[in-house]
Structure 1
Amino acid sequence: MATNALRGARLAVAVALYLLTAVPVFAEPQPLSLQQAVAAALNNNPELVSLRKEAGVLDAAAVRAGVLPNPTLELEGATGALTGSSDDSNLSLGISQEFLLGDKRLKRHAVAERDLAAYRWQVADRERAVKEQVQAAYCDVLLAQERVGLARHSIELNKQLLQVAVDRLAAGDIPELEMYLVRVELVRSEGNLVELQRALLDSRAKLFALVALPPAASPVLGDTLNGNDVRVNGAGDLKQVAMQNRPDLKALHAAMQRSDAEVGLAEAEGIPNLTAGIAVSRDTSSMEIGGAEGRETAYTIGVKISMPIPVFDRNQAGQQEARAKRSSAEIRLQGAAASVEREVDSAHASLANAEKVLSLFRSDILRQLDENLKLTQEAYRLGEVGILAVIEEQKKYFEVSDSYLAALHARQISLNRLESAVAADIYGGVQ
């Protein structure tokens, strides 16, 4: 019995040691790529989700356009009780149906179908705009992250410079003022870091709002600003692609087709509808023959056909309104096509300018700046230059580095704008 107790105690100790030494493994959050961010925004963005729900309204309109008018039940009764002929009465029961002439039902359905087609292209165009917004916000976060890293590098260099100044002050090589100048630069760079971190938080909040992530989610971004060359087609070829792909142009074209269908429907509305009905009547009357009174009942079946006479109103106002809408839709389509061409030209020129700016940095200017900074720092350590020369060289280094990041960001934004203007993935976005 004591042996069993000893075994149980050993087992409990072993389990306790295992639990104490076990290290929980948590899954690291997956980085958020640009493609994932765009896909999440297209699926979860509240504006897009609500816009897609409106398809049910247009589906209902299409169903309503194909529904026949309801038949009309008519019941009529009459009595002679109030006129002294209580034995006289009449009872009529009938049903009538309105028949749509001029293919109105078919033409209403055509209008509803084209309206639904225009709506779908409008949704696609809104998705295109949301994609461009997400791409821009994603690039803003990448730029903010790079600037935060650059600011931290600046702080590290200022700390190293401060240590060199402290050592030289202890050796009596420099006045105390130089050390204070370095400390001022260090405090300034630390304050700049705080501002850049705040800007980074704002950029991330804007991006995550567009992507519609939960408030607690804060993933890291998996892409970087790409410094490679970008090769795109000429503006003429891109214009042709834009004319074929732009969903806003297709939406306006569908709207013009809907206006054509509305013109046909307005002309058909000028044709009056036919109403046909059938009724069964029972007439009861009293009669006196040879001093004897009797009652007579007669049953009749009647057919009734009615149609308005289009003398004054042939839906002239409706036809005029439909033709005016058609002309307006055509003008909007022509204006939108011209705007698309200008948009492609502007985006293409912007991308070309951004490439020219980046080409200035690709001529080893950043490497040369880094080498100049190291030589200046070493010269100050040896007492060959003053502290102002080092501070000025560091400012130049970080200003040019920040300009390079801004050029990368501007090039990527221009590329995203061009892809949005063409409505095609011409390069693949941020890598």
Structure 2
Amino acid sequence: MQKSLIILILFLSFFATTLAVSQEKVLTLEEGIQRVLACSPQLKMSEAEAEEKKGLHVQAGFYPNPILSYSVENVFGNRNWHGWNAAESRYEYAQLIETGGKRELRSKTTDYLFRAACLGVEVAKLQLLNRFTRAFIDLVAAQEQLRIVKEQNKIAKEVLYVVSAKVEAGKVSIIQKHKAEISVANADILLEKVRVNFETAREQVSQFWGETVPDFESVGFNFYFIQAPQSLDAYLAYLHDHPEWIQAQLEQSASLQSVYLEKSLAIPDVTLSVGYKTIRDTHNQGMILGASLPIPVFNRNQGNIEKSRANLRKLEDSFMALQVLLENKSAAIHREFMRSYHESKRLKEGILEAALQAFKLSEEGYREGKFEYLDMLDSQRTLFEIEDHYVQALKNYHSKQAELRYLSSQVD
């Protein structure tokens, strides 16, 4: 009976463990990107700004509204103007005629601004995905670090077991056991630290779609796959098609049109009017024709013209600075990308394997009494350092790759 109960308990424990593993939520980079694009508040703000510029563009194309007016004179006075008998009534229709191509220039300016705002949405999207991808890579690296530290913790405890057995057999000094216990304690502390780092990185990723509590346990990413980077010229060739580059050009074009618009505003607009007049007591009737325009004696829009010219110069300088910034940034990131690629490749193909083999040999040699404890401890420490170095190199490789992909992104 007890035997059957034990078997049942073991079966249920195994089933519960299997179910928990099968239900573990694994977040992939593609799924994370979809969440970010669907729920990011920053992206929605950029889209709202584009809608704002669209409204300005629509508004800029309208003609001025006509003015319909009515007035009456010579009423409610004294003597002959008493009452309504001597009333002179005027019915007038006036229309402002914009001169100097103001409406067309206004429409062109806002059109450039609207197109720049639409590209601003693409820029915001790419920047957001770049930040998310790098945060995701940080999480993957933290996950790998946690896995490695767990293995290191397990190795430290296995070493402690071997040393304890040797101490009990009287083959080594108890001092070695104390050293092994210190190594286990340090491994436990490191494990807790790395676990906290992993949880923090998990929370930072989930914050991109507005969640404070992550709904996933781990992430899926081909972290150990690397390939040779393209040449720098291959990345620089895409810079002129980058949304941020084209957005700056459109803003510069809008500023140039704004200069033309401010100049046109110095040209007076003409108001034409037509009307009809009646005199009640004489029964006379007639048409009213008129035209008016302001005389540009004092205000010729000089200040706004100078302001628009200064803004154009600022945007031209800003565009030149953007060119230099993107090119220099691409070159610097590409150098770091190449360095991390060669570093990762070298660690994987030579150093890591050699360190692992050295540790295995020293561990076996220590068990057999061929090596000292310090030899095994030194090879163990070297292996741990190289594994950590390898993860950091891969993390740097994928992060720089994400940044270069952002800089070489093009407009759809």
Q: TM-score, normalised by structure 2?
A: 0.88
Q: State, as a whole percentage, how many aligned pairs show the same letter.
A: 18
Deviation at 1:37, TM superposition (A): 2.0
**In the TM superposition, what is the alpha-carbon distance from 1:370 to its structure 2 partner?**
1.4
Letter in 1 for 2:47: R
Q: Aligned equivalents of 2:328 and 2:161: distance in 1? A: 56
**Is 1:69 aligned with 2:64?**
yes
- Secondary structure, aligned partner of 1:73: strand
Q: Tell me, in whole angstroms, the C-alpha distance in 1 between the residues paired with 2:153 and 2:222.
A: 23
Of residues 179, 191, 195, the one that matches 1:197 is 195
Provide the residue aligned with 2:160 in structure 1.
Answer: 162
Residue matched to 2:365: 379
Q: Alpha-carbon deviation of 1:223?
A: 0.8
Identify if the C-alpha distance between structure 1 residues 96 and 154 changes in structure 2 by more than 3 Å, giving closer, same or farther: same
1:5 aligned partner: none
CA–CA distance in 1 between the matches of 2:217 and 2:116? 37
Q: Distance in 2 between matches of 1:393 and 1:26?
A: 34
Give the secondary-structure state (helix, strand or coil) at the position aligned to 1:82: coil
Counterpart of 2:193 in 1: which secondary structure? helix
List runs of 5+ in structure 2 lacking aligned partners: 1-18
Q: CA contact under 8 A between 1:121 and 1:248: conserved in structure 2?
A: yes
> In the alignment, which of 207, 210, 215 is matched to residue 209 of structure 1?
207
Q: How many Å separate the matches in 2 of 1:324 and 1:250? A: 21
Looking at structure 1, the residues matched to 214 and 159 of structure 2 have their Cα atoms a distance apart, in angstroms, of 40
* 1:292 paired residue number: none
Greater Rg by CA: 1
TM-aligned CA distance change 1:381 to 1:424, over 3 Å? farther
Specify which of 264, 270, 273 is matched with residue 268 of structure 1. 264
Question: How far off is 1:271 after superposition?
Answer: 1.9
Mapped partners of 2:292, 2:191: distance in 1: 84
> In the alignment, residue 86 of structure 1 is paired with which amino acid?
W
Residue 114 (structure 1) shift: 0.4
Is contact 2:340–2:396 with CA below 8 Å preserved after alignment?
yes
| CA distance 1:29–1:109, change in 2 (3 Å) | farther
Q: Counterpart of 2:339?
A: 353
Amino acid at match of 2:53: L
Q: Does 1:94 align with 2:80?
A: no
Q: Aligned with 1:221: secondary structure?
A: strand
Cα displacement (A) at 1:211: 4.1
| Aligned equivalent of 1:429 | none
Corresponding position of 1:17 = none
Q: Deviations over 1:269-296 (max 9, x none)?
A: 12211111222222244xxxxxxxxxx3
Name which of structure 1's ranges 148-157 and 67-76 shifts more when overlaid on structure 2: 67-76
Contact kept? 1:43, 1:49, Cα under 8 Å: no
Post-superposition shift, 1:29? Answer: 5.8
Are the counterparts in 1 of residues 271 and 291 from structure 2 also a CA contact under 8 Å?
A: yes
What's the TM-score, normalizing by structure 1? 0.84
Helix, strand or coil: the match of 2:77? helix
Q: Does 1:43 find its partner at 2:41?
A: no
Tell me which of 234, 237, 241 is aligned to 1:237: 234
- In structure 1, the residue matched to 2:288 is 302
Per-residue deviation, residues 165-184 of structure 1 (Å, max 9, x unmatched): 22222212223232222112
Partner letter of residue 92 of structure 1?
R
Aligned mates of 2:68, 2:212 — CA distance in 1: 57
Q: Secondary structure at the match of 1:32?
A: strand
Counterpart residue type for residue 108 of structure 1:
R
Matched residues in 2 for 1:216 and 1:414: separation?
26
2:388 counterpart of 1:392: no
Offset of 1:197 from its aligned partner?
A: 0.5
2:72–2:90 contact (8 Å) kept in structure 1: yes
Q: How far did 1:39 drift? A: 3.2
1:121-149, Cα deviation, whole Å (9 max, x unpaired): 22211222112111111110111111111
Distance in 1 (CA, whole Å) between partners of 2:124 and 2:250 is 16
Query: Runs of 5+ in structure 1 lacking a partner?
Result: 1-23, 286-295, 426-431
Find the residue that maps to 2:296 and give its secondary structure: coil
C-alpha deviation, 1:81, in angstroms: 4.4
Aligned length: 391
**Contact conserved, 2:348 with 2:390, CA < 8 A, in 1?**
no
CA RMSD of aligned residues (A): 2.4
- Find the aligned partners of 1:170 and 1:393 in 2 and give their Cα distance: 24
Q: Find the aligned partners of 2:233 and 2:22 in 1 and give their Cα distance.
A: 49
